[in-house]
Amino acid sequence: MERKTIYNPDSKESLNDRRIFGGNSDGMINFTKMKYQWALNLWDTMEANTWFPKEVQMTGDAKDYKFLTPAEKRMYDLVLSQLIFMDSLQTNNLMDNINPYITAPEVNACLSRQSYEEANHSKSYAVMVESISDNTDQIYNMWKNDAKLREKNNYIADVYKSLTAGDDGEISDTKIVLALFANQILEGLYFYAGFAAMYALGKSGKMLGSSQMIRFIQRDEVTHLLLFQNMINSVRKERPELFTPELEETVRGMFRKAVALEASWGSYITQGQILGFTDKIIEQYIQYLADKRLEAVGYKPEYNVKHPIPWVDGYASFNDQRTNFFEGNVVNYSKGSIDFDDF
């Protein structure tokens, strides 16, 4: 499959014929006529959730950071450095590797909005770094010196690279589907050990500005997760022949590797020195999330475990919304009222 044509005046494609990929739309983004209503719902929620990093008060964090224990400070720095990498990667990945092959204009719009939000997260990390350190390069360059951090970054980047088009610009249908799953995994698993670590500091009354920033970021990541899950489920309906037992086993292998990598990362950043986080709890937490992600796209759970740290759900929530971040149901966001229960 080749990259889509951004302007296709000769298209005769009807709304019923529109496809997530492999379609032939004229390229016009018309929010009054669309096939995928969930895309409009997501757009409205993303728009309603607009926020700006400089709105978050970070003065207290500058003071708190000086009094963190060495283990807490190490954890904070590593988490921040890794989050910086993932949002930088995702900003470019969406525009370079995903959006060019998506042929539903309303979904193209959502991916463009997501790319903006990923860049906005990068700005938020800059605000966080500048609030705690005069030497910003120390955190931005950690990946160059920390082998574990680099290992995780390299693996995620290598998976994305393996699922991109060849030198001729073409990509197989199966690769596109696997790329959608890879993005679901990034949005639904790879952030969460770091998020939970930040919330652990906040729960103990430390780095409250950073915890609030992460709440805003996680709220965005929920819509990004929903976007890819809905794309996967729509493709399953349109192209059921692609969802073979072989594909499922490949996807499960991707999830198993992701769980192992994220659990190992969580263990590495906490080192058994953060209250409430043992290696077993971290592993079970990531397994729990993986099961939820698999169930959301029509697969049976892999691990069948319970949520080991349910307090994280409550800590991540905003007071003026009802949210289950981990099951992907988002109701009544702070600036809008959108019901996603039909997803």
Sign of CA pseudo-dihedral 109, 115, 121, 123: negative
Burial class (CB in 10 A: 0-12, 13-18, 19+), 280: exposed
Give the whole-angstrom CA distance, residue 234 versus residue 262. 28
Q: What is the CA radius of gyration of the chain?
A: 20
By residue count, the chain amounts to 343
Paired with 330 in beta bridges are: 323
Closest CA to 25 of 40, 7, 43, 39: 7
Q: Does the active-site annotation cover 315?
A: no
Closest CA to 277 of 203, 211, 342, 172: 203
- 36, 101, 125, 199: the active-site residue: 125
Give the whole-angstrom CA distance, residue 214 versus residue 334. 16
Per DSSP bridges, beta strands 322-324 and 329-331 are antiparallel
CB distance 33 to 15 below 8 Å: yes
Name the residues annotated as catalytic. 125
